[in-house]
Amino acid sequence: MSIPVVDLADFLSGDEKRKSSFVKELGNAYEEVGFVAVKNHGIPDELIGDLYKYVQQFFALPLSEKKEYEIPGLAGQRGYTSFGKEHAKGSDAPDLKEFFQFGQTVEDNDPVKSEYPDNVTVREVPAFTPTLLNAYKAFEKSGRALLRAIALYLGLEENYFEGYVHNGNSILRAIHYPPITQEPKSAIRAEQHEDINLITLLVGASAGGLQILTKQNDWVDAVSQPEQIVVNVGDMLQRLTNNKLKSTTHRVVNPPREFWHTSRFSIPFFLHPKSQMSLACLSSCIDANHPKAYPDATAGEYLDERLREIGLKK
């Protein structure tokens, strides 16, 4: 299945007709599929190349060195999380991955800074941390533009999300799925799940394996072109819109046996708002045919609940 493709340059063009067309295409794709591929996303190819290069250098370090960056008490929200620690909600089987997370850097004296732990600097790969910072800012800029389009599609003021995602609790996650060295208990590297956040931006991956669950309940390979990023709806946006925009179920499957010896790398950006944002269903998304489906909660309360469900928080 090829994911619907939208061109962010249309939204940013200054041409009202192109902008309006983009909003409609994006919203329709999110209602019907839940994933889109975005071209002209504004994240430079050179930065993406550097990101994957330094991510691979980090994960190639000996485990003893990587574990120095695994910080107890942070629920995996900063630094390294070792293999098999996370599992999908409702599943006891650990995902076959290790990962490193990089979070918000508050640079304008916003009091929200006190809520965020410091990022973890990796000494052995000096370019790793500054490259993560540059990538974080590029992803965040692209994601904020997409949220402006989503706001318009929902009939909200264009900058509805802006105050919530400025200095928001977004996470850049570098994932390594190591080679498979023995017959796996499951055919799944990452069990089926939905993302927690508002939207997720995924730039490429070093190998295939990503599948999405269609409305017909079929698993299909999610394929995008090299110059595109894949962006999907997360649970927070689903809650806010009372299921108008659906959080898409997806998974990462193991490669064919002849590729078991290879690693897979993937770098998603989970766009989160500040913890105080209310996820109470928008009144415009509630009617007789669509009664309110979720209790009120803040983004912080919901994130805390989900981190416990997936095993990162006790």
What are the tens digits of pLDDT across the range 278-295? 999 999 999 999 999 999
Residue (of 197, 208, 145, 147) closest to 172 by Cα position? 197
In this predicted structure, the answer to whether residue 296 has a pLDDT above a threshold of 70 is yes
Average pLDDT of the residues in 122-140? 97
Average pLDDT of the residues in 124-142? 97
In this predicted structure, the answer to whether residue 207 has a pLDDT above a threshold of 60 is no
In this predicted structure, the answer to whether residue 299 has a pLDDT above a threshold of 50 is yes
CA 245, 251, 256, 258: dihedral to nearest 10 degrees?
120
Average pLDDT of the residues in 288-314? 87
Six-digit token string for 240: 């806010």
Neighbours of 277 (CB within 10 A): 21
Instruction: Report CA Rg, the chain.
Output: 19
51/181: higher pLDDT: 51
Q: Are strands 264-266 and 171-177 parallel, antiparallel or unpaired?
A: antiparallel
CA separation for the pair 16, 193 (Å, rounded): 37
185 and 93 Cβ atoms separated by less than 8 Å: yes
CA separation for the pair 20, 149 (Å, rounded): 9
Structure confidence at residue 280 (pLDDT):
97
277 and 198 Cβ atoms separated by less than 8 Å: no
Q: Which of 27-31, 235-239, 242-246, 256-260 shows the lowest mean pLDDT across its residues?
A: 256-260
pLDDT band at 242 (very low <50, low <70, confident <90, very high): very high
Residue (of 267, 256, 269) closest to 221 by Cα position? 256
> Global pTM?
0.91
H-run or E-run covering 269: strand 268-271
211 and 221 Cβ atoms separated by less than 8 Å: yes
Six-digit token string for 252: 């990462």
230 and 202 Cβ atoms separated by less than 8 Å: yes
Structure confidence at residue 189 (pLDDT):
62
Question: From the DSSP assignment, how many helices (H) and strands (E) are in the chain?
Answer: 8, 13
pLDDT band at 97 (very low <50, low <70, confident <90, very high): confident
Q: Which of 15-29, 47-61, 158-172, 218-232 shows the lowest mean pLDDT across its residues?
A: 218-232
Structure confidence at residue 91 (pLDDT):
57
271/76: higher pLDDT: 271
CA separation for the pair 31, 53 (Å, rounded): 35
Average pLDDT of the residues of the chain: 89
Cα 11-41-191 angle, rounded to 5 deg: 115
The highest-confidence range among 25-34, 233-242, 245-254, 304-313, by mean pLDDT, is 233-242
CA 183, 186, 190, 196: dihedral to nearest 10 degrees?
-160
Whole-number percent of the chain with pLDDT over 70: 89
3 state DSSP class of 205: coil
Structure confidence at residue 86 (pLDDT):
60
34 and 248 Cβ atoms separated by less than 8 Å: yes
3 state DSSP class of 274: coil
156/225: higher pLDDT: 156
Residue (of 219, 203, 279) closest to 252 by Cα position? 219
Structure confidence at residue 206 (pLDDT):
46
Provide the residue type at 151 as one letter: A
Edge to edge, what strands does the sheet with 188-193 contain?
Answer: 188-193, 250-253, 210-213, 219-221
- Domains of the chain (ranges; CATH) run 5-309 (2.60.120.330)
11/212: higher pLDDT: 11
237 and 150 Cβ atoms separated by less than 8 Å: yes
Provide the residue type at 32 as one letter: E
